[in-house]
Amino acid sequence: MATREEVAQIFPAMCQRFIPSKAEGLNATIQFNLSGDNGGLYWLKIENGSCQAGEGQAENPKMTLKAAAEDWHAVSTGKMNAMQAFMSGKLKIEGDMGLAMKMQTIFAQ
């Protein structure tokens, strides 16, 4: 099971894997609502070719991803396929579905 610290580290790590050229013209905030023992609220803000990560409720997110912290940790570490997780209901997306699809290309694996 992923620890709270391991879950929290996912988001700064995503910013390190951010590919600005793939996110040209994208200005969006993504909210992550992770449930379970080591869950919490996290966000990524993509703006002007940069990525910032933070904890808590984001203002006006363009998309919200809901998942168990354990499932999102598995997806973000490559142990679970994001599309399969979505199709099986382990990941739920609210808001901009196009942005959810784009996440696969704007962050290096």
Q: What is the pLDDT of residues 26-46, one digit of tens each?
A: 999 999 999 999 999 999 999
Per the domain annotation, does 21 fall within a domain? yes
d(CA 30, CA 27): 10
Per the domain annotation, does 82 fall within a domain? yes
Question: 46: domain range?
Answer: 4-100
The pLDDT of residue 1 is 86
Per the domain annotation, does 42 fall within a domain? yes
Class of residue 66 by CB neighbours under 10 A (exposed 0-12, middle 13-18, buried 19+)? middle
The pLDDT of residue 55 is 97
Tokens 């784009």 map to which residue? 102
Q: What is the pTM of this model?
A: 0.95
Q: Low-confidence residues of the chain, pLDDT below 50? A: none
How many folded domains does the chain comprise? 1
